[in-house]
């Protein structure tokens, strides 16, 4: 597997909350969607991963709660 993405950083739009690959951004590094300046950001910051894990755990816990509620009320 090639790892060419390492050399292809993405930019972040705070307005649209999207990652824009450098080669898809406008020449002046503005967002193709809204025209606001883009910020340089790593593709998956650690807190993004942490938030994803937290969301999965939370949803799993809620699903468990929902299932056990059903079991006790049927
Ligand atoms: Zn934008």
pLDDT for residue 49: 87
E-assigned strands of 1-74?
Answer: 10-13, 18-21, 39-40
Strand order across the beta sheet in which 18-21 lies: 18-21, 10-13, 39-40
8 pLDDT exceeds 80? Answer: no
Q: What's the gap in Å between 14 CA and the centre of ligand 1?
A: 7
74's tokens: 């049927």
Q: Is 31 exposed, middle or buried, given 0-12, 13-18 or 19+ CB atoms closer than 10 A?
A: buried
The segment with the largest mean pLDDT, out of 6-10, 19-23, 34-38, 44-48, is 34-38
Q: What's the gap in Å between 16 CA and the centre of ligand 1?
A: 4
Whole-prediction pTM value?
0.44
Q: What's the gap in Å between 6 CA and the centre of ligand 1?
A: 23
Average the pLDDT over 1-30 and give the result. Answer: 80
pLDDT band at 41 (very low <50, low <70, confident <90, very high): low
Residue whose tokens read 């999207």: 18
Q: What's the gap in Å between 26 CA and the centre of ligand 1?
A: 11
């Amino acid at each position: 597997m090639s790892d060419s993405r390492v050399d292809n950083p993405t930019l972040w739009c705070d307005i649209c909350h999207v990652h824009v690959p450098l080669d898809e951004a406008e020449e002046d590094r503005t967002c193709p969607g809204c025209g606001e300046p883009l910020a340089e950001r790593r593709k998956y910051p650690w807190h993004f991963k942490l938030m994803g894990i937290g969301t999965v755990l939370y949803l799993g816990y809620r699903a468990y709660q929902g299932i056990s509620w059903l079991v006790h009320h049927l």
